[in-house]
Structure 1
Amino acid sequence: MTRMPLRRLIEFLHTLPFPLWLAGILLLAYGPFLPWLGFYWDDLPLLWIANTYGAEGLQRYFSTNRPIWGVFYQISMSFMGTVPWQWQLYALFWRWMAGLTLWLTLRQVWPQRSAEAAWMALGFSLYPGFGQQPISIVYSHFFIVLTAFFTSLYAMLRAVRSSSRGWGWHLPGLGLSAINLLSMEYFFLLDLLRPLLLAQILPGEYTQRWRKALRLSLPYLAVFVGVALWRAFFFPYQTYNYQPHLLQSLSLQPLAVLGQLLGRMLRDILLTGILAWFHPLARLTALPEAGPRTLLLTAGVLVVALGVFYWLVRWVWPLCGGSRLVERWAEARPLLILGGVSLLLAGWPFWLTDLPIQLGFPYDRFTLPFMLGAACLLVGLARLLPATWGTAALGIVVGLAAAFQTQNAGEYRRDWETQRAFFWQMAWRIPDLKPGTTVVVQGLPLTHYSDNSLTAPLNWIYAPENRTQQMDYLLMDLDVRRSYPALQAGIPHQPVVLDYLAATFNGTTDQVLVLFFRPPACLRVIDPALEADNLFLPPQLRRVAARLGAPAQIEAQADPPSLPAFYGREPAHGWCYYYEQADLARQRQDWETVVRLAEAAFALGDYPNDPAERLPFIEGYAHVGEWEHALTQSLEAARVAPTMQEVVCRLWQRLLRETAPSPQRDRATMTLRQEITCP
């Protein structure tokens, strides 16, 4: 009885067309964490620019950085809004479209090899060398361009196969080719694959096929050359962001540089074409360190994915063919050639500009043009194996890739929650900032953001009405901004300037607010009067705080700010909420409020994750005359580590200056000096 429903399910799955299979597998791999993902990296600047300056701001932003591509952003952002899950679905849709159009193109090249086309589309769509899919605003537009490129190839092949209506297909093919070539440089040289694909479908002997393929490619080659000339000689910003370092180096040391280039090409092709498929094994070893939800969902996706691929192989697209090696080589050779040539063409935008290709954020974005070649190479190598072994290998590799993408999305989810905590705690502690403030941090515990990314929401939160091209605020990470020596060295009276493309920031090193954020500890505004010797802080951040830190940049009496809607509801009020509010009340010198917040905080049963989080409560207790409580909290902070004793001593020196003498104060001071060493 139980076999009948299973058999019917299998028969039903057998009837599903490949586009539905592809959509289902992408949802399985990328979808489990989709409702909890947010915005990452350049998503935040793009959102802020669109919200603040509209289409004109986006045009300025892209004017020196792929202006044609920027038009797609203007269109998408005019109707997509600022809801994260909607953008995640939008990005997933375009990844599905890219995989689908690749499948259609490969079906045109090899009509009788639907199994290989399906596996290549699956490998392309789940490629584990690229892990930035959750950066939805940016990469939805990358996959729009890839979809245009694959559709252009499809139209060209259809034109050749449909001679009676050839130009009806060639015209959209040429137009979509121009869109790819004008939009960005990532997939530029992949356009040269056209003769290779045409040679696969044309009849005749080898030389005749290639001659005709080259002739049929001439209109597309003309578009390619025309765009290349425009980029090289007429587009004034072609090298605005990236310089062709390879050409400069070749002119100085041709033989040495050529040898290095060949070595790098081999390394990058091996990395992106072969080793990337083993990347999930390295990443899955980190699963025990992941949260329980990520662990459970990744394991579930792995099991389900392998099951899906088993039935996919067994009932839908079994790879079949001869068992002899010579026959398998003949069938695998076209796939291996297409994969190898694609990998060779894919790397030139990065080899010319000396950009590193790596399997990890942020440089795994450079693996995008290698995805096609890697998928073709994978299926070609599997085709060299006996049919059963090759199919099993493909199922395992692609199943692991699906599990990798789920685990990867879980890491993005945690990063989003950490970034949300950063800004919510900032809003609790800092109601407003004086314009021109540079917020300095060091070593933020965020993987998929940079200080440049976080400058956008900082301005969105604290200057929502400013629509001028003069930005009010800048966030700088000392580990990143090495090109600001005055800020790094803590030199006052020096300019701090940043061109944000859509706007510009102009400030000075006299307007610096230093923050420290290292969860699970709370966000802290560093008080230079107390923490110049706090060894819990990074040395460079401590030096900048001591020389430049100006907590007076905070407008302590202002009303609390509103965060953009995409940050969601305010988190539950735990320890960090009461600490931030108490530190703000301390700055306002509202000591009764500090004590009231202390009672609420300690009643939670929680505790500080950084001893410095006790400082505002110590100060509050002392100012209302509760010296025993101030002493207790001081000793707790000092006992965590000897390095905190100096900070506590500095605080008590300030308390002795600011409070009136009393017997309780004297007893508490004497006890403190007996317990810890103060100067």
Structure 2
Amino acid sequence: MKKIISFFASEKRQTWLVYAWMLVICFLSYGVLIPALGFYWDDFPILFLYKTFGASGFPEFLASDRPFSAWNFMLTTSLFKFNPLGYHLLAFALRYLSVILFYWIFRTVWPERRKIAAVAAGIFAIYPGFHQQPIALIYCHHFSVFDLFLLSVLLMLQNAKREKFNWPLAIVSYVGALGMFSIENFATLEMLRPLLLWILLKPKFKDFKALIKAILKLWLPYLLIFGAFMFWRVFIFKFPTYEPDLLEGYQSSPTSILVTLFSRIPKDFFTVTVKAWLDSFRIPKVSDFGTSATYLFWALSAAGALLSALFLSLLGNDKPVEKATQKKPLWEWLVVGLFLYCLAGSIVWVLDMPLEIEFAWDRMTLAFIPGVAVIAALIYALVDKSHFAANLLVCLLIGSAVGAHFENEMSYKRDWEDMQNLFWQMSWRMPDLEPGTVVLGSDIGVDYYSDNSLTAPLNLMYAPDSRSYDLNYVFYYSDVRLGSWLSALEPGVAIHQPYRSFDFNGSTDRVVAVKYDPPACLQVMDRTYANSIALPNLSETQVSELKLTDLSLIKSEPAHQPLTDIFTNQPQKDWCYYFETADLARQNGDYDQAVALGEEAIAQGYAPRAASEWLPFLESNIRLENWERTEYIADQLLSAEGNYENGLCNTLKRLSRQDDVPSADKLVEYMQEYNCP
């Protein structure tokens, strides 16, 4: 072991060792599942715009809130088009680059603290409070700007160390600082520059005035850029999305607002530091997570911890410093860490936005990562009197974070699968939809997609050749829209939905209500077939939704499929395929087709995920007087957990009253046998 440690003892090899360590823990945290990840959340509106108008459409599409961000999306979509792997690899590379840039900023300011810089970079790399790395297309933009900011700071510090000012370095650094115009999330971190310059330059200047002059000379160009940004953002562009509620509240009730603010600051500090890591120690249940995934969770967590222990043992300890200067970095790290926390929090607090370690508000934690990493360096240094205890702490934190990120990425992987299944099932149940249709739902069983997200693939499926800013379709979560863009769940209500540069105009007279709760199949809800009797445990909102469904909006031809540029090819026929196509056949009165589909599904050993999925086959077999199969299905409904006997009885009662249904007496016998009310 001593020979190995001696081999890595040189400064160059120690640096490469840090690079390797950062790459390993980044891969364990974010890279393992990259091939299985897809598109999420706001990725889809970007892809929809690109499909509809090409890269040239982004300036207008993004003009409402981030007019200077079009360059990023024009570049990435032109490179990767509809290939999720490309975006995920780029997002991974940008995340890794941010870690290396942070490491060198730390080394530049505190050059003698190589090992502590590596530990801080490790915490920066795998911070477990930010869960949205899998939303790759969108966060390629965020990390591009973040990297530009970090590069700008690093080049500024490198220039400050030089005896002669280097203009090429400065120009690149100034350009990097302009990134805040593209996205504002990291803009307030700009105010860290003078503090870092103070720490870096103070040993070189004995005269206080000369020190201040040198700092101002270096900082002034960045201050001017930041001032120009703030003037543009506050007074010209203003606040198109989130209003500065804190400032508005301060004008009317300053005392109350200040009390609220000062009570929130420590709470948010606890959230982004302690809570973020406490949550990462959560152990997944095998029953929820799956056996193989649980084994892999433990393997990755152990690998993260053990490999970190190996790298830490190979990294030489920082050289001892004089007692007089030993405490100096501790105070500096404390001040820098807390100042970074306040800078990152200022945007959140002024806009009165939530800060939580859960989707979707965990996105706000991204700007807090540098501050958390510096505070982690402080804690490591305090514990480092016992190298074993300090290294053990780091290994535990990294191991837990690696496991938490794997669990998070598994959640995204499964949501991507559920989302694709949703649209394939829609294509089977609703091969075509009349233009102007609103697909309405609530509690839709996908976690990382808003209704805005789903509106994009909905239009790409049913209107793939559209080149208009008028949307043909919209997906609405009524539990989200009700009371704002949707005034009421009743007939005749106009719906106008802006979608950045697109618009949808329709009404509640053209609605198809759906229920999707995987692994159960998609259900088109309506008053007749899939109502609150057939589908037990519907919410009040869902009951109101189904009353609006107009089944005539669903057409059998032409048959549309999800955009295969984005979605995987049609999955293997399973139960949901047979259910959806049989449900459509029942709607169209093709009972022979529905029965044939049911027989094929049963012959292949498929069975419903929810017992209500038997109902199209029940009705079709009754209409064809297949009594043996009818009784088999009835037994399945009666033996299922839940109140599915109500759906059975409702179907029997409804059919017994219809003139075109044969053997009404037989249905009456069944109702008596099954104790139907």
Q: Which residue of 1 aligns with 2:343?
A: 345
User: Cα offset for 1:197?
Assistant: 0.7
Q: Which amino acid aligns with 1:526?
A: M
1:309 corresponds to 2:311: no
| CA separation of 1:319 and 1:394: change in aligned 2, threshold 3 A | farther
Matched, 1:528 2:527: yes
Is contact 2:586-2:616 (8 Å) kept? yes
Structure-2 change in CA distance of 1:393 and 1:473 (3 Å): same
Kindly state the Cα deviation for residue 137 of structure 1 after the two structures are TM-superposed.
0.5
Partner residue in 2 for 1:33: 33
- For 1:166-185, list aligned pairs within 5 A: 166-179=166-179, 181-185=180-184
User: Is the CA contact (8 Å cut-off) linking 2:460 and 2:562 kept in structure 1?
Assistant: no
Listed as ranges, the matches of 1:263-282 within 5 Å are 263-281=263-281
Deviates more, 1:500-509 or 1:196-205: 196-205
* CA 1:335–1:15: 2 relative to 1, 3 Å: closer
The 3-state SS of whatever aligns with 2:528 is helix
- Which deviates further from its counterpart, 15-24 or 455-464? 15-24
> Of 227, 230, 234, which residue of structure 1 is paired with 2:229?
227
Relative to structure 1, the CA distance from residue 204 to residue 277 in structure 2 (aligned partners, 3 Å threshold; closer, same or farther) is farther
How many Å separate the matches in 2 of 1:16 and 1:582? 61
TM-score, normalised via structure 2 length: 0.93
Count of residues paired in the alignment: 669
Secondary structure, in 3 states, of the residue corresponding to 2:513? strand
Task: Tell me the secondary structure at the aligned position of residue 513 of structure 1.
Answer: strand
Structure 2 equivalent of residue 245 of structure 1: 245
Q: Residue 354 of structure 1 corresponds to which residue in structure 2?
A: 352
Task: State the Cα deviation string for residues 49-70 of structure 1 (Å, max 9, x = none).
Answer: 1111223432222101111122
- Mapping of 1:460-609 within 5 angstroms? 460-484=460-484, 489-530=488-529, 531-534=531-534, 536-609=536-609
Name the CA distance, whole Å, in 2 between partners of 1:59 and 1:670.
Answer: 67
Q: 1:323 to 1:610 in 2, by over 3 A?
A: farther
8 Å contact kept, 2:513–2:546: no
1:169 positional shift: 1.9
* Pair 1:548–1:9, CA change in 2 (3 A): farther
- The Cα offsets for residues 598-618 of structure 1, whole Å up to 9 and x where unpaired, read as 111112333222222111111
Q: Secondary structure at the match of 2:79?
A: coil
Residue equivalent to 2:68: 68
Structure 1 pair 8–229 and aligned structure 2 pair: CA distance change class (3 A): closer
Matched-pair contact (CA < 8 Å) for 1:426–1:523: yes
My pick for the range that moved more, 525-534 or 360-369, is 525-534
Matches within 5 A, 1:16-415: 16-179=16-179, 181-202=180-201, 203-205=204-206, 207-208=208-209, 209-235=211-237, 238-281=238-281, 283-286=282-285, 289-319=288-318, 321=320, 329-385=327-383, 386-388=385-387, 389-415=389-415
Pick which of 117-126 and 15-24 moved more. 15-24
2:512·2:550 contact (CA, 8 Å) conserved in 1? yes
Residue in 1 that maps onto 2:633: 633
Whether contact under 8 Å (1:320, 1:387) holds in the other structure is: no
Q: 1:294 to 1:8 in 2, by over 3 A?
A: farther
CA contact (8 A) 1:574 1:604 kept: no
- Evaluate the alpha carbon distance shift between residue 327 and residue 486 of structure 1 in structure 2; reply closer, same or farther with a 3 A threshold: closer
Which runs of 5 or more residues in structure 2 are unaligned? Answer: none
Give the drift of 1:425: 1.1
Following TM superposition, by how much is the alpha carbon of 1:321 offset from its aligned partner in structure 2, in angstroms?
4.0
In structure 2, relative to structure 1, the CA distance for the partners of 1:632 and 1:623 (3 Å cut) is same
CA distance in 2, matches of 1:329, 1:274: 24
Distance change >3 Å, CA 18–CA 207, structure 1 → 2: same
TM-aligned CA distance change 1:642 to 1:393, over 3 Å: closer
Question: What one-letter code is carried by the residue in structure 1 that aligns with 2:524?
Answer: V
Secondary structure at 2:186 match in 1? coil
Cα distance, 1:182–1:562 mapped onto 2, change above 3 Å: closer
Letter aligned with residue 669 of structure 2: M
CA contact (8 A) 2:461 2:560 kept: no
CA–CA distance in structure 1, aligned partners of residues 336 and 314 of structure 2: 28
Q: Residues 174, 637 of structure 1: CA spacing in aligned structure 2 closer, same or farther, 3 A cutoff?
A: same
My pick for the range that moved more, 224-233 or 126-135, is 224-233
- Counterpart of 1:429, as a letter, is R
1:211-267 C-alpha deviation (Å, 9 max, x unpaired): 5323421221111112211222222xx311000101110011101111111111121
How do 1:401-480 and structure 2 match up within 5 A? 401-480=401-480
Q: Distance in 2 between matches of 1:485 and 1:334?
A: 50
| CA distance in 2 between partners of 1:335 and 1:642 (Å) | 59
What's the CA shift string for 1:317-347, capped at 9, x where partnerless? 43564798x8764332222221111001111
Deviation at 1:652, TM superposition (A): 2.7
Query: How many percent identity over aligned positions?
Result: 30
Q: Provide, for residues 540-572 of structure 1, a one-character-per-residue CA deviation record: whole Å limited to 9, x for no partner.
A: 344324431112111124324243333212222
Instruction: Tell me: CA distance 1:206–1:127, structure 2 relative to 1, closer, same or farther (3 Å).
Output: farther
Any conservation in 2 of the 1:621–1:629 contact (CA below 8 Å)? yes
Letter in 2 for 1:71: W
Change (3 A) 1:606 1:7: farther
Task: Single out whichever of 396-405 and 344-353 deviates more from structure 2.
Answer: 396-405
Partner amino acid, structure 1, of 2:155: A
Q: Please tell me whether the aligned partners of residues 177 and 220 of structure 1 are also in contact (alpha carbons under 8 angstroms).
A: yes
- Counterparts in 2 of 1:317 and 1:446: CA distance versus 1, 3 Å: farther
* Structure 1: distance between partners of 2:412 and 2:626: 45
The separation in 2 between residues aligned to 1:9 and 1:517, in whole angstroms, is 58
SS of equivalent residue, structure 1 residue 187:
helix
Counterpart-to-counterpart distance in 1, 2:482 and 2:274: 35
Secondary structure in 2 matching 1:567:
coil
Tell me if the contact between 1:288 and 1:295 (Cα under 8 Å) persists in the aligned partners.
no
